[in-house]
Structure 1
Amino acid sequence: MQPTMQQGIAMPSTRPPIPDQAAQQDRAAAMALEAGGSSPSPNGSDYVLTLYVASLTPRSVMAIKSVKEVCEKHLSGQYALEIVDIYERPTLAKHDQILAAPTLIKRLPLPLRRLIGDMADEHRVLVGLDLRARTEGSDRQD
């Protein structure tokens, strides 16, 4: 009888399972209600967003301001925005697999989208929220 090698055994992943589409919608609806908003409409017109930031650094403050401005300008009355400090709620950040801050997650309407980094570029945020189509040449001049 051969001894078993404990070191060669692959351990199962500790990563939480990726929730299915129905679970994402349920969580998004619950978050919208918690944030004081209404439940997302069945036709998918309401946006449920989570912005992960790293404390109140200047970059985080700018991201919060920029995202709120874009939402008010383009989604007025049709969104719920939850702001999560990754240092205050690390479990939630880990569950959503946040690797960098700021990160904006669009939970509803599906598909789920993630926008990581600079939130000051309004066009980039709108593309990330699926509110504007991507353009190859973009109207920016270098």
Structure 2
Amino acid sequence: MEQEYYELRLYVAGKTAKSVTALRNLKQYCEQHLKGQYSLEVIDLLVNPQLAEGDQILAIPTLVKKVPEPVRKIIGDLSNEEKVLVGLDIRPRQREN
């Protein structure tokens, strides 16, 4: 079974508590469930505000799953792992004993 590759983009605004938490949570989930199957681009809208338009970003932080389709967006600090995995359509890996 071929595993899908995920292209993720996290929009943040500087080093706010929510942005830092979202990035930390996202990295943890990706390493746990998508190890070797993802790319993560972090876009700081304080540095590149014009990039918000392309993905129609209305709130920060926002995670955008570009690939595989459909494109999905999750807003917030990504602290609810189940909500993030469902939102990204990731099936949790079975933990090995």
Question: TM-score interval w.r.t. the shorter chain?
Answer: 0.7 to 0.9
Q: Which runs of 4+ in 1 moved over 4 A?
A: none
Contact kept? 1:48, 1:81, Cα under 8 Å: yes
Contact kept? 2:11, 2:63, Cα under 8 Å: yes
- Residue 104 of structure 1 aligns to a residue in which SS? strand
Residue 80 of structure 2 corresponds to residue 121 of structure 1: yes
Runs of at least 5 residues in structure 2 that lack an aligned partner in the other structure: 92-97
- Residue 20 of structure 2 aligns to a residue in which SS? helix
Runs of at least 5 residues in structure 1 that lack an aligned partner in the other structure: 1-42, 133-142
Letter in 2 for 1:95: G
Aligned-partner Cα distance in 2 for 1:124–1:86: 24
Q: Deviations over 1:6-36 (max 9, x none)?
A: xxxxxxxxxxxxxxxxxxxxxxxxxxxxxxx
Q: Normalising to structure 2: TM-score of the pair? A: 0.87
Residue 90 of structure 2 corresponds to residue 100 of structure 1: no
- Residue 95 of structure 1 aligns to a residue in which SS? coil
Name the structure 2 match of 1:59.
18
Q: What CA RMSD, in Å, does the superposition of the two structures yield over aligned residues?
A: 1.3
Task: Kindly indicate whether structure 1 or structure 2 has the higher relative contact order, using CA contacts under 8 Å at least 6 residues apart.
Answer: 2
Q: Normalising to structure 1: TM-score of the pair? A: 0.60
The number of residue pairs the alignment matches comes to 90
Give percent identity, aligned residues only.
Answer: 52
Contact kept? 2:61, 2:75, Cα under 8 Å: yes
